[in-house]
Amino acid sequence: MGLLFALALIIQMELLLSVFIRVFFLPKAKALPVADRKPVSIVICAKNEAANLAQNLSFILGQNYLNEEGVADFEVIVVNDGSTDDTMQVLEGLAKKHPILKIVDLSPDEERMFKGKKHALGKGVNAAQNEWLVFTDADCKPSGESWLELMVAPMARGKEIILGYGGYNTTPGLLNAFIRWETMHTFMLYSTAAQSGRPYMAVGRNMACLKSIFVQAQESPIWNAVPSGDDDLLISAAATQVNTQVVSDKAAFTYSDAKETWDAWANQKQRHLSTGKFYKRGIKTYLTLYAGGHAMIWIFFVTTAIVHPTTLLFGAMGLRCFLYWAIWLKTAYRVNEKSLFYFFPLFDLGWMVYNFAFLPYIIWKNKKHWT
């Protein structure tokens, strides 16, 4: 067991030193000069989102992204995907006040070329007039008026895919803390992988890309494999070592409300994790090594500590925890979640349970619906 613990420790330290340490070197956000700006299309898919649109859409419409004449240089396209609530009425009311808001109305009975959300997303992109696209969700609120500018700034410098951060609002309770930690932890994984030239995922509630990149992804054989996962599948189909950049500035984040029950959150995670099986082989190996090494180090530490406790064993595990928690703390500061530090010991163990619980969806199961 001691040898197995040592193997797990080697795996974890290798990943920390070769990949995760890059969280200290994520690029700083840079303001985009007005002269370098190009028109942007923000695309949002909405299905029975009347309340969220009424609460959040005005903040997106109010972005400080102007051209040299001082006029808003973006459009907001909301796809009403067969809603049965007051979504259409909310959109029509906002459109009267904001000429930059465009509505694409889809019938529930409309024949669909793609599964789930992807059909509505494709319709929204088809309606977009601009090459620069930004994607978010109806339940998301940008952290400030500079969100749009910061998210598209790397495209002015030649990047084609931008990975943002979609955080969750803080509320009391262990579930909310774990959701925020898991979101922070996922950001550490995909941001440092992208920094090392191996982008593999994004969050659809805050990402950007060129329209040509979206079309390329849409034409990929894997695009219609599952109803959801448009964000991750786009990365798998079109991201390269050099065309992708992470934006980690707090002013470029979006925020939404986390699920309030364990069942609702588990259902959401099952949908999100269903696309993992379509990652490239090297990414699957990387994630398997990390998750497997993480489980092994805790399992074999505990069993070895019971059977043959030594100072070396506890010292090695202490060093591992110190280094990993330092990486997590740096990530937490990056995403404005430093209060999560106190939960690190509990959630370190909790993530092992998480991986075992969701293993069927990671390996073979698919969720059938996107809402």
pLDDT of residue 226: 77
Q: 27-264 in CATH: which number?
A: 3.90.550.10
pLDDT band at 332 (very low <50, low <70, confident <90, very high): very high
- Domain chopping of the chain, boundaries: 2-23+281-359, 27-264
pLDDT of residue 370: 42
pLDDT of residue 315: 96
Q: How many other C-beta atoms are found inside a 10 Å radius of the C-beta of residue 100?
A: 17
pLDDT of residue 363: 55
pLDDT reading at 365 higher than 90: no
CB 61 within 8 A of CB 145: no
pLDDT reading at 362 higher than 70: no
pLDDT tens per residue across span 135-181? 999 999 999 999 999 999 999 999 999 999 999 999 999 999 999 99
pLDDT, mean of residues 341-363? 83
pLDDT of residue 369: 46
pLDDT, mean of residues 73-102? 96
pLDDT tens per residue across span 168-194? 999 999 999 999 999 999 999 999 999
pLDDT of residue 361: 60
| Residue 23 C-beta-side C-alpha neighbours within 13 Å | 26
pLDDT reading at 253 higher than 90: yes
pLDDT band at 106 (very low <50, low <70, confident <90, very high): very high
